[in-house]
Amino acid sequence: MLTQVKMTEKNLTIGYIEKYDGTLRLNLSKNNLFQKDQFLLIIQANTKDFSRFMIYPINVNKILKITVSCFREIVEDLEQISSLLKNFKIIHNSGLTVRDNIFIVELYLKLRFSNSKYKDLKTSLDKIKNKHIDIDIEEISLNI
């Protein structure tokens, strides 16, 4: 049973304790943010000590995830990628992370493979790829 905790202007987060039984129950019905859209994009980030969930209301059942990784600092490359993506709806940006000496950033876009703008984006991103930088694009669809 979830105990409702009211979020106020002073609180940045809501915390509660739940008995663990292998599932996670979230009550989003009182949050007006989740009332207008049909789908939820759930992004889970795991570390050895915790899992963090980001939940975004979306009105589409497919989106793109772009992962940029590099063996050197990619600030200049990110500026170029950022300029390419400025005309797209970015739902989530992981921020630049370093893992095992590899610089990584993940972006979730409100775009799908079948969209005509995707082909232009892919062509532009392919021009940035080289021996130092890798760019992966995957389509994420409704998990049934």
Break the chain into its structural domains and give their ranges. Answer: 62-141
CA distance 133 to 67: 10
Which is higher by pLDDT, 111 or 16? Answer: 111
Instruction: Give the pLDDT mean for 77-84.
Output: 84
φ and ψ at residue 119, rounded to 5 degrees: -60, -40
CA distances from 22 to 25, 93, 102, 114 (A): 10, 28, 33, 36
Would you give the DSSP letter of residue 55?
E
- Picking from 39, 45, 33, the residue whose alpha carbon sits closest to that of residue 112 is 39
Its CATH class, for the domain covering 62-141, is alpha beta
pLDDT tens digit sequence for 86-97:
989 999 999 888
SS3 for 88-115 is CCEEEECCCEEECCEEEEEEEECCCCCC
In this prediction, residue 6 carries a pLDDT of 57
pLDDT tens digit sequence for 50-79:
999 999 999 999 999 999 998 876 667 778
**pLDDT greater than 60 at residue 1:** no
